[in-house]
Amino acid sequence: MKKAGFMKDALILFAITLISGVLLGGVYEMTKTVIAEKEEAAKQETYREVYADAASFALNEELTEKAATADLSSYDKVTVSEILDALDASGTVIGHLATSTSGAGYGGNVTLTIGITNEGAITGIGFLTLNETPGLGMKVADDAFKGQFVGKNAEQLTLVKGGGASGEDEIDAISGATVTSSAVTNAVNAALFLVASN
């Protein structure tokens, strides 16, 4: 008798789990296109913010493939997933956008887009993924930090603690958020390296 009751309960639980799984799968299928469209719109907005002089962007397959196979081990857990050409209204390449991810952030992955002109100057950086500590690591998204990168034209940037950055290749770390500051700077440096070696 107890065995029959247990089997009945198990079958009911199985049916509930199956129906829930089917419903969740259906909701996912209905919303995944909308989610993908919103993510793409957010990326495009970040691209325009980072490289305001560009009229459009196109995937640079050669540089993206190069990024996938490049040795970036000196940049502390950084990968570069794609490099785009920044195009003016006539379709001329005026620079590049690199999407770079550092796995060394304090709160996990930090993914950003870096704009770099043909002359090697940084046009800006914008964040696609940032889950750092509020009031500390999240300050990398503030203009006071990310604005330091704009106009820098150096092969590699150096992070300086204590607010003493004065050189063309120096960036002031955020006090109390050196790990996040370093993650961002390494992600930018990997992008500079890849674009410069083009």
Considering only residues 81 and 165, tell me which one the structure prediction assigns the higher pLDDT: 81
Give me 60's structure tokens. 């640079």
> For residue range 17-46, what is the model confidence (pLDDT) as tens digits?
888 888 887 777 777 788 788 888 889 999
Residue 6: is its pLDDT beyond 60? yes
Q: Read off the tokens for 79.
A: 């990968």
Strands (E), 106-191: 108-117, 122-129, 158-160, 170-172
Task: Summarize pLDDT for 100-154 with one digit per residue, the tens.
Answer: 999 999 888 999 999 999 999 999 999 999 999 888 899 999 999 999 999 999 9
Q: Which residue has the tokens 């940049």?
A: 75
CA separation for the pair 123, 195 (Å, rounded): 13
Tokens in use for 138? 């999240």
**pLDDT of 169 above 90:** yes
CA atoms within 13 A on the CB side of 170: 9
Q: What Rg value do the Cα atoms of the chain yield, rounded?
A: 22
